[in-house]
Amino acid sequence: MQLTHSKYGASNPKWSPDGKQIIFASGISLSDLLKDSVLNPTHLIPVWSFEKPGFNKNENLKFTSAKPNPDGNMEEVRAYLAKDEVDKKAKVLNKLNFQDEMNVSSETNFTQFYLTEVKDSAKQKLITKGFYRYNTIDFAPDGKSLIISGYVDSLISPDRALENEIFTANTDGSNLKLLLGKPNMNYNSPKLSPSGKWLAFIYGSTSFVEVPQLAIMNMNSASKDIITIPFDRNTNNITWSNDEKYIYFSAQSNGGQPLYKVNIGTKIVEELSDYNSGILSFDVVGNLPSGQAGKIVFTKTQVRDPSE
């Protein structure tokens, strides 16, 4: 059953805890966001500077009905030159992040998140909005709120910002509240425990010579104290055990990518696989019969058996 019909595509779907809704991402370019009558009905433009020479107030981004004409007035000439960009005859670069792996790109892109019910002909609802950088989103275990990571500052271009923040919001995107974030700091990869009591995340400064730290925070505590797990590798794929006593994660180390678990009470990290292989993705099986040991399903790559 096809659930979405978005012209911007759909990726990274996530189920709501009750299985009745799915949240997903769409990639939208700045040029599309400026002219989309649904996403931007009043033709708003970014407050942060687009940094295009000669346009101190982003005048070049404003909606115009001028017809492309190389011999017309200034607006018509600009429309004519802009059409060359649309037709891929030219690229105009005035942004910092213009290089990708294969080419150069002048386009600024945004990730927006949508919510849809799991039923035929369901209408998708936009959760995030604006000219901001959003990275990840997930439901809280009770399904009544969302946990979102990104950077929201109307005065700083996403190209310029090195920080990242963590927010909470209602499931319709309203009541967006900052949970973790401050200047010169990155807070990423938020993962709530099954009960919603604990939040695991990765944090560090915006310096490029620092290993980000794995940490947890008690969501029920008013002080919101951060408890750091002592581990000198960059952690990935944070996953809670069903009893909330352990956090499982993988980390590149010594040429491999072992799977680890940490006891959140003792903060002791235990290595579960070797350096000669890589655990690419995994999940912890919960709700097992009483007395039965917990289990992990995973994908693993090694020289003799690539990607099994």
The residue type of 205 is S
Q: Label residue 6 by pLDDT band (50, 70, 90).
A: confident
pLDDT of 272: 94
Contacts of 221 (CB under 8 A, 6+ apart): none
Domain-embedded: residue 110: no
> Would 192 be classed as within a structural domain?
yes
Number of domains within the chain? 1
In a domain, residue 12? The reply is: no
Report the candidate in 137, 152, 179 with the shortest Cα–Cα distance to residue 25: 137
CATH code, domain with 156: 2.120.10.30
Closest of 17, 8, 14 to residue 194, by C-alpha: 17
- Contacts of residue 120, defined as CB under 8 A and 6 or more positions apart, other chains included, come to 1
Residue 186 has what pLDDT?
95
Q: Do 33 and 48 meet the contact criterion of CB atoms below 8 Å apart?
A: no
- Residue 2's contacts (CB-CB under 8 Å, 6 or more residues apart) are none
Q: How many CB atoms lie within 10 A of CB 179?
A: 19
Domain annotation covers residue 42 = no
Is residue 243 situated within a structural domain? yes
Rounded CA separation 297/280 (Å):
11
What is the residue range of 290's domain? 137-301
Q: How many CB atoms lie within 10 A of CB 223?
A: 7
Q: How far apart are CA 99 and CA 95, in angstroms?
A: 10
pLDDT value, residue 96: 76
Give 286-299 pLDDT, tens digit per residue.
666 666 777 899 99
**Which pLDDT belongs to residue 288?**
63
Where would I find the H helices in the chain?
Answer: 30-35, 74-86
Tokens found for residue 117:
């019910």
Does the pLDDT value for residue 232 go beyond 90?
Answer: yes
pLDDT tens-digit map of 175-224? 999 999 999 999 999 999 999 999 999 999 998 888 999 999 999 988 88
Question: Span 28-37, mean pLDDT?
Answer: 89
Instruction: Read off the pLDDT of each residue in 115-130 and give the average, rounded to a whole number.
Output: 90
Task: Tell me the percentage of the chain whose pLDDT exceeds 70.
Answer: 98
Banded pLDDT at 82 (limits 50, 70, 90) = confident
